[in-house]
């Protein structure tokens, strides 16, 4: 048989797979395409892939035989059992050091398991987050690979060439061990929903609070997109708001409003409809303040809430990395999200810089740049949340971000009452704060008090109530 010429194989010719293959082909790599339903291979070669260097394979054996060693095979199939099924089919045909890459939306514990199972057999595994949908796959996605570190040098060139680029830097770097790539993709998706919710809340305040028309709101978003909030999501929201239906009315009225409710209270649609008729909010009051100041405050509220959302996302990754022993590349992660994906923004460049300055930083709020930014944003942020509460406009994301911020900056939180309640009803014990000790309350001891005089002196051994 002829010498293999394939640089990389890809299994799964649905929307993501086909587009990623075409992208890799454009970057000069020779890709071998395979799909469970092999008629799709022929269709792809005869249509989208016509005139390219893309090769097809009609069996796993043929796919493997066409690849140069160490073989690299990307799976872009439905997450779950299809991934395990293809791994099983591939294994007998692969050699030591060959690499299986799962680019689907797999749950990260599966990727931890797959890395361990394949490494035990001398193979390498990569679980890679792929973000950016169809367009990203075709022209440059954000790629978040993690798994067997030994695989990275072999896939780095293809991955970084295929990924989106911002200021010449690829939106792809090694994330960390085992399931780290898919974990980071999961956090990315959470952040994406948070960003969308925050934008929807800002829209709601402008619409229901200030009573602005979609065209005016679009103008505000367009302006915000030139400042600290410069991002893909702000940009598309401005475009959505400008979009007119056939009747000349903005289409967003049903669209965005429903998106917010759908996420927060979707299961309760009927109940909400009934409640809206029998539970009254505050009387609608015309805004009498300084509109320009208010809109500037809203920009700052959005910015500060976004800082908190990303702070929490990175804290989450840090915590998991500690628990699972991963060495996560935080600056690289922010850089990977800089382009190619839904949350791409200028802001992520500032997060990259924060972690480049200090990889060990506990939270973004300790970084000078973000510390100054939240301090500057704070007064406006508080005014917006307060006004929304007075108006009766729900701002769950703005408000929870502010509550987290106030909790995080409080040296003492009211856990003393909570601990006392738990000791009162369940003898769960408590410890005294340094400086509050006395004869009865000794430092460092688990103390139980007989609060009512009726309980005994035995304390509970389990922590949970
Ligand atoms: P998809 O609809 O999730 O999956 C279709 C592909 O999976 C087809 O190649 C199909 O083969 C194969 N497949 C399904 N069940 C199978 C089974 N039991 N055994 C073997 N093969 C099976 O395709 P997609 O939308 O392109 O997504 C691919 C992966 O990327 C998914 O994990 C998805 O979550 C992830 N992803 C998607 C997007 C997006 O925007 N669509 C973005 C990021 C990540 P047949 O043709 O033979 O049915």
Question: What range does the domain containing 441 cover?
Answer: 412-465
- The confidence score (pLDDT) of residue 264 equals 64
- Please name the residues in contact with 170: beta carbons below 8 A apart, sequence gap of 6 or more: 159, 160, 161, 163, 164
The strand pairing partners of 9, in sequence order, are 32, 73
Q: Are 26 and 167 members of one domain?
A: yes
Q: Are 326 and 446 members of one domain?
A: no
pLDDT < 50 regions, the chain: 255-257, 463-465
Inter-residue contact 134 to 109 (CB < 8 Å): no
- The confidence score (pLDDT) of residue 387 equals 96
Nearest CA to ligand 1 atom 42: 133
The total domain count for the chain is 3
Give the domain-ending residue among 410, 434, 454. Answer: 410
Give the domain-ending residue among 147, 180, 213. Answer: 180
Query: Does 1 fall in a domain?
Result: no
What is the rounded CA–CA span in Å between residue 34 and residue 252? 41
Give kind and range of the element (H or E) at residue 166: strand 165-166
Domain with 172 in it: what CATH number? 3.40.50.720
Q: Which residue spans within 38-94 are E strands per DSSP?
A: 55-56, 72-75
Q: Are 382 and 428 members of one domain?
A: no
Give kind and range of the element (H or E) at residue 131: strand 124-131
Return the SS3 of 10: strand
Inter-residue contact 209 to 393 (CB < 8 Å): yes
Domain with 428 in it: what CATH number? 1.20.5.320
Q: Are 431 and 356 members of one domain?
A: no
Was 253 annotated as part of a binding site?
no
Q: Are 313 and 263 members of one domain?
A: yes
Domain with 336 in it: what CATH number? 1.10.1040.10
Give residue 36 CA to ligand 1 midpoint distance, Å: 11
Inter-residue contact 185 to 133 (CB < 8 Å): no
- The confidence score (pLDDT) of residue 416 equals 80
Q: Are 73 and 112 members of one domain?
A: yes
Q: Are 405 and 449 members of one domain?
A: no
Give residue 76 CA to ligand 1 midpoint distance, Å: 6
Give kind and range of the element (H or E) at residue 170: strand 169-170
- The confidence score (pLDDT) of residue 391 equals 95
Q: Which of 104, 96, 146, 94 is nearest to 125 (CA)?
A: 146
- The confidence score (pLDDT) of residue 268 equals 76
Q: Are 286 and 217 members of one domain?
A: yes
Query: Does 293 fall in a domain?
Result: yes
Was 17 annotated as part of a binding site?
yes
Query: Does 222 fall in a domain?
Result: yes
Torsion sign (Cα): 344, 193, 136, 182: positive
Catalytic residues: 185, 192
Q: Are 96 and 21 members of one domain?
A: yes
Q: How far apart are the first and last CA of the chain?
A: 68
Nearest CA to ligand 1 atom 3: 78
- Does ligand 1 have an atom closer than 6 angstroms to the CB of 15? yes
Query: Does 244 fall in a domain?
Result: yes
Q: Are 234 and 306 members of one domain?
A: yes
- Does ligand 1 have an atom closer than 6 angstroms to the CB of 429? no
Query: Does 287 fall in a domain?
Result: yes
Query: Does 327 fall in a domain?
Result: yes
What is the rounded CA–CA span in Å between residue 328 and residue 359? 10
Was 77 annotated as part of a binding site?
yes
Give the number of other Cβ atoms within 10 Å of residue 95's Cβ.
Answer: 11
- Does ligand 1 have an atom closer than 6 angstroms to the CB of 198? no
Inter-residue contact 398 to 305 (CB < 8 Å): yes
Give residue 82 CA to ligand 1 midpoint distance, Å: 9
Give the domain-ending residue among 161, 180, 199. Answer: 180
Query: Does 54 fall in a domain?
Result: yes
Q: Are 99 and 198 members of one domain?
A: no
Query: Does 3 fall in a domain?
Result: no
Q: Are 317 and 385 members of one domain?
A: yes
- The confidence score (pLDDT) of residue 306 equals 95
Was 36 annotated as part of a binding site?
yes
Q: Is omega for the bond preceding 70 within 30 degrees of 0, making it cis?
A: yes
């Amino acid at each position: 048989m002829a010498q293999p010429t394939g640089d990389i194989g890809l299994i799964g010719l649905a929307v993501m797979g086909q587009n990623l293959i075409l992208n890799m082909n454009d970057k000069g790599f020779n890709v071998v395409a395979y799909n469970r339903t092999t008629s799709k291979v022929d269709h792809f070669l005869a249509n989208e892939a016509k005139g390219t260097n893309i090769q097809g394979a009609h069996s796993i054996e043929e796919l493997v035989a066409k690849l140069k060693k160490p073989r690299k095979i990307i799976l872009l199939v439905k997450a779950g059992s299809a991934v395990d099924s293809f791994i099983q089919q591939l294994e007998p045909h692969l050699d030591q050091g060959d690499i299986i890459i799962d680019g689907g939306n797999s749950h990260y514990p599966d990727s931890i398991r797959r890395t361990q199972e394949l490494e035990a057999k001398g193979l390498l595994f990569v679980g890679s987050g792929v973000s950016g949908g169809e367009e990203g796959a075709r022209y440059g996605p954000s790629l978040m690979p993690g798994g067997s570190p030994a695989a990275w040098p072999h896939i780095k060139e293809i991955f970084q060439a295929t990924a989106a680029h911002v200021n010449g830097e690829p939106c792809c770097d090694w994330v960390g061990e085992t399931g780290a790539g898919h974990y980071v993709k999961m956090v990315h998706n959470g952040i994406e929903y948070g960003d969308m919710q925050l934008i929807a809340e800002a829209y709601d305040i402008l619409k229901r609070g200030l009573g602005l028309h979609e065209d005016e709101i679009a103008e505000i978003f367009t302006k915000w997109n030139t400042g600290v909030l410069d991002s893909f999501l702000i940009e598309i929201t401005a475009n959505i708001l400008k979009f007119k239906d056939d009747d000349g009315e903005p289409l967003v009225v049903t669209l965005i409003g429903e998106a917010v409710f759908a996420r927060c209270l979707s299961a309760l649609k009927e109940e909400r409809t009934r409640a809206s008729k029998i539970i009254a909010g505050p009387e609608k009051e015309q805004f009498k303040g300084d509109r320009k100041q208010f809109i500037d405050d809203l920009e700052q509220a959005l910015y500060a809430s976004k800082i908190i959302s990303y702070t929490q996302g990175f804290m989450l990754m840090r915590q998991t990395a500690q628990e699972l022993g991963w060495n996560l590349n935080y600056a690289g992660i922010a850089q990977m999200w800089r382009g190619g994906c839904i949350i791409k923004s200028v802001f992520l460049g500032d997060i990259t810089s924060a972690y480049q300055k200090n990889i060990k930083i506990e939270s973004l709020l300790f970084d000078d740049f973000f510390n100054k930014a939240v301090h500057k944003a704070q007064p406006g942020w508080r005014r917006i949340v307060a006004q929304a509460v007075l108006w009766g406009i729900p701002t769950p994301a703005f408000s929870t971000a502010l509550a987290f911020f106030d909790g995080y900056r409080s040296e003492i939180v009211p856990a003393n009452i909570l601990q006392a309640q738990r000791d009162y009803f369940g003898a769960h014990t408590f410890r005294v704060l340094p400086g509050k000790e006395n004869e009865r309350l000794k430092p460092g001891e688990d103390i139980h008090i007989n609060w009512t005089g009726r309980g005994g002196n035995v304390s509970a051994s389990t922590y949970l109530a």
